[in-house]
Amino acid sequence: MNTKKPKSFNPPLLKIVSIITTLYFVYYLWWRATATLNPSFPFFSWALWLTEAFGVITYILFAWLTKNIGPIVPHKKPAPGISVDIYVPTFNEDVEILEATLIGCRKVRYPHTTYVLDDGNRPVIQALANRLGCRYIARPTHEHAKAGNINHALQQTDGEYIVILDADMVPQPDFLHRTLGYFEDEKLALIQLPQEFYNQDSIQHASNQTSWHEQSLFFRVIQPGKNYTNSAFWCGSPSVVRRKALFEVGGVATETITEDIHTTVRLHSRGWKTLFVNEPLAFGIAPQTIRAFLLQRLRWAQGTMQLYRSKESPLWVPGLSLRQRASYLSSFLAYFEAFQKIILILMPILIIGLNIFPMEVSITSFAIHWIPYFTLNIFANQLGGRGVFHYFKTEKFNILKSIIFIQASFTLVSKKPLKFQVTPKALEENVYRQERRSMRWFIALFGILVGCMSFALIRMVTPNFEILFWDVYAIALFWAGYNTYVISLALKEVLTKKHERLQYRFPIHARGKLSCITPRPMTIKVLVSDLSISGVGFDANEWFPEEANDLELTIYPKDFSKVTIPISKVFMRGTNSPGLMRFGAVLSEDLGPQRALLFEYLFVHLPRSNAQTLYQVNEWNPFHVSQKPSQRAQM
């Protein structure tokens, strides 16, 4: 039993801080509107004011939505005998990615049937499904992408509940034990779980804090808060859906490319409930590159715009409560923060370059009002974000998403058909060139800002420098410097990211032994530091003769069975501490009879162990009972 004291879901000062912040924000907007607008530039003055007002509105919605994120109902154990189908839709993912997921499905303890829904009609996937005891479904036509794939499978299966897992989303053994019991509520249609990821070197993970990723605030704070308005929405995977509810709304929605949230709106409008269960019970692959990240976010944004312009928009579809509409509106407005960011980036450029002054205010008066506004903004969001909100990390990703969100917003008025694009899970050969190409707009903005700052500094030190609004000019220079800094963080995050391996190397700390058979049997002790399905890194204080071959590595992980894997090649990387040599090794293509055990260790056991530090240890948490290796169920 883990005795770590649980963190509070709702900080004691949260309510009073939210009220104080809201009141001051309203006062700040009143002061800006009555004391700072420049009548000579009314359009730009009001544009800047509306940008700040938009930020205040989104904060108020955020504070309201997340005032309570504690579990809304306690966990219930499922009754025996419930029929469950696990769907794993796939199109073009690598075989090893799908193999990890299917091995995870095989380890799920509650009785179930796993179906591989192959929209790529690949014989190698059918062979993999047969080898791992899964059923294989391929459809003759491929309309409506993932949604159509699931709808086709619904006609071929009969499970009362359906688990949806993306091809890369590996479930935990207690996945069904921790979710099925909630469905005792006959009106519950859907359970959505957080999306957590095992490749913590992805583009959306913080470089210096690997547990934090770009979706952390949404899944650990916002979605739990939506439970209290019955507005938590389906994010596709990982999730559990009641078949009866899906059939009542005509299956998975196919009219938009974000079938998950669209289907949720239909469920809510017909009186069904949804529930977000804040437990990491499956782990997938986060987008590895900025190109994959932006492609995924573009699809989400375009699909959301499709939904909001349709007759089933959450803003006017019949059957939703006012609180549900406000909750959906909060998520919708998040995409329009892109316009806010771009205006705030461009405004100091207009001030410095074109002498457009949207404010008429002294530096002293501005500082007196703006510093409390900025400080409260950070503190209130940090408190409401329960420690998950990180100001500069969030700013960095908001800027990176701004261009594609603006691009997606035109879908509101465009009727051009959209094509569902699968998020790339593998690296391409020209990855670095693609990364630079994806950053070209931000590189241009960075250059323009640096040029404007240089121009401003030169102008301010020029003899006889005169300008009507010197204070605003100085504010713009500071403002441009701030924007330059945030964009530089974003560019550094992307352009310095290394993409050297095709498979993610899990960091581990385990004892091991390396053995060779020829020219004579010999064994040395090693300390394993990283491991994947194709390679391993370890330290040793001795080495074999050069002619040694037939190598075999045995790893003794903590709280897991020993794993023995064949090695095809070893090379020295250097030295660590005195007396220790650093080695890297390539695993054999044929991993032998322990292949499945290695996959289980990497993709099931290790992500679960790492996640224990991310989520609160409490009565609703899946980590409240530690399991020894002998307790792992076999199917």
Residue 2 pLDDT > 50: no
CB 603 within 8 A of CB 283: yes
3-state DSSP call for residue 569? strand
> 460 or 371, which is more confident?
371
Average pLDDT over residues 167-180: 97
CB neighbours of residue 166 within 10 Å: 25
**CA–centroid distance for 461 within its chain:** 47
72's tokens = 């809304």
What the block records as the tokens of 333 is 């407005």
Please check whether residue 424 is in contact with residue 91, taking contact to mean a CB–CB distance below 8 angstroms. no
Q: What is the pLDDT of residue 627?
A: 34
Mean of all residue pLDDT scores within the chain = 88
Structure confidence at residue 520 (pLDDT): 75
Q: SS3 of 533, please?
A: coil
Q: What local confidence, expressed as pLDDT, does residue 468 receive?
A: 62
Window from 504-513, 546-555, 597-606 with minimum mean pLDDT: 546-555
Q: Which residues pair with 191 in a beta bridge?
A: 240, 275
| Cis amide prior to 140 (ω within 30 degrees) | no
HSE-up of residue 225 (Cα within 13 Å, Cβ side): 25
Residue partners of 590: CB distance under 8 A and separation at least 6: 566
Which run of H or E residues covers position 63? helix 42-65
Distance between CA atoms of residues 456 and 475, nearest Å: 11
What pLDDT, on the 0 to 100 scale, is given for residue 621? 35
Which DSSP helix (H) or strand (E) runs through 264?
helix 259-269
What are the chain's domains?
14-65+336-495 (no CATH), 84-286 (3.90.550.10), 506-611 (2.40.10.220)
* pLDDT tens, position by position, 520-545: 788 889 999 999 999 999 998 888 77
Q: State whether residue 290 is helix, strand or coil.
A: helix
Q: Contact at 8 Å (CB) between 168 and 238? A: no
Q: Using 50, 70 and 90 to split pLDDT, how confident is the model at 614? A: low
More confident residue, 205 or 237: 237
Contact 203, 276 (CB under 8 A): no
Buried b (16+ CB within 10 A) or exposed e, 524-536: eebbbbbbbbbbb
| Strand stretches in 145-276, DSSP E | 161-164, 170-171, 188-192, 196-197, 205-206, 209-213, 239-242, 273-276
Distance from chain centroid for Cα 530: 23
Q: Nearest CA to 167 among 101, 122, 123?
A: 101
Contacts of 554 (CB under 8 A, 6+ apart): 512, 513, 514, 515, 562, 563, 564
Q: Are strands 170-171 and 239-242 parallel, antiparallel or unpaired?
A: unpaired
The total of other beta-carbon atoms located within 10 Å of residue 440's CB is 10
Using a pLDDT cut of 70, give the percent of the chain over it: 90
Contacts of 547 (CB under 8 A, 6+ apart): 518, 519
Q: Where are the beta strands (DSSP E) in 236-340?
A: 239-242, 273-276, 282-284
In the predicted model, what is the mean pLDDT of residues 14-34? 97
Using the predicted structure, report yes or no on whether residue 635 has a pLDDT greater than 80. Answer: no
- Sign of the Cα torsion 36, 38, 39, 44 reads negative
Mean pLDDT, rounded, for 502-516: 90
Mean pLDDT, residues 553-572: 91
Q: What confidence category does residue 617 fall into, taking pLDDT thresholds of 50, 70 and 90?
A: very low
Q: Which two tokens stand for residue 525?
A: 């002790």
For residues 548 and 550, which has the higher predicted lDDT (pLDDT)? 550
Q: In what order do the strands lie in the sheet with 196-197?
A: 170-171, 282-284, 196-197
Ramachandran area for residue 99 (φ above 0: left; ψ -120 to 50: alpha; else beta): alpha
- What pLDDT shows up at residue 209? 53
> Residue 241 has which token pair?
């859906």
- pLDDT at 205 (0 to 100): 84
Contacts of 188 (CB under 8 A, 6+ apart): 182, 242, 272, 273, 274, 275
Q: Sign of the C-alpha dihedral, residues 626, 100, 104, 243?
A: positive
Phi, psi of 156 (to 5 degrees): -105, -5
**pLDDT exceeds 60 at position 1:** no
Q: Cα 248 from chain centroid?
A: 30
The pLDDT value recorded for residue 599 is 95
Tens-place pLDDT, residues 119-132: 999 999 999 999 99
245-300 confidence digits (pLDDT tens) = 999 999 999 998 899 999 999 999 999 999 999 999 999 999 888 888 898 999 99
Q: Are 540 and 581 in contact (CB under 8 A)?
A: yes
Nearest C-alpha neighbor of 189 from the set 242, 250, 248:
242
Angle, nearest 10°, between helix axes 95-107 and 123-131?
20
Q: How much is the pLDDT for 628?
A: 35
Q: Are 227 and 173 in contact (CB under 8 A)?
A: no
| Rounded CA separation 328/368 (Å) | 36
Question: Could you tell me the CA-to-CA distances from 549 to 208, 513, 541, 569, 570 in Å, in that order?
Answer: 39, 15, 19, 9, 10
Q: Is the pLDDT of residue 416 over 80?
A: no
With contact defined as beta carbons under 8 Å apart, do 598 and 591 qualify?
A: yes
User: In Å, what is the CA distance from 317 to each residue of 65, 250, 312, 355, 357?
Assistant: 21, 16, 5, 46, 43
pLDDT band at 634 (very low <50, low <70, confident <90, very high): very low
Quickly state the pLDDT bin for 467 (edges 50, 70, 90). Answer: low
389: its two tokens: 């909100």
Length of the chain: 635
CB count within 10 Å of CB 72 equals 15
What is the per-residue pLDDT for 626?
33
In the predicted structure, residue 473 carries a pLDDT above the cut 50: yes
Say yes or no to pLDDT of 421 above 70.
Answer: no
What does the pLDDT average to over 159-173? 97
Please state, in angstroms and rounded to a whole number, the distance separating the CA atoms of residues 417 and 155: 27
pLDDT at 632: 30
Asked whether the CA dihedral 594, 597, 599, 602 is positive or negative, the reply is: negative
* Dihedral sign (CA 471, 473, 478, 482): positive
> What single-letter amino acid sits at 35?
A
| 127 or 432: which leads in pLDDT | 127
**Candidate from 33-42, 492-501, 504-513, 585-594 with smallest mean pLDDT:** 492-501
In order of 336, 346, 485, 594, the CA distances from 341 in angstroms are 9, 9, 14, 51
Tokens standing for residue 397: 């990703």
Q: What pLDDT is stored for residue 96 in this prediction?
A: 94
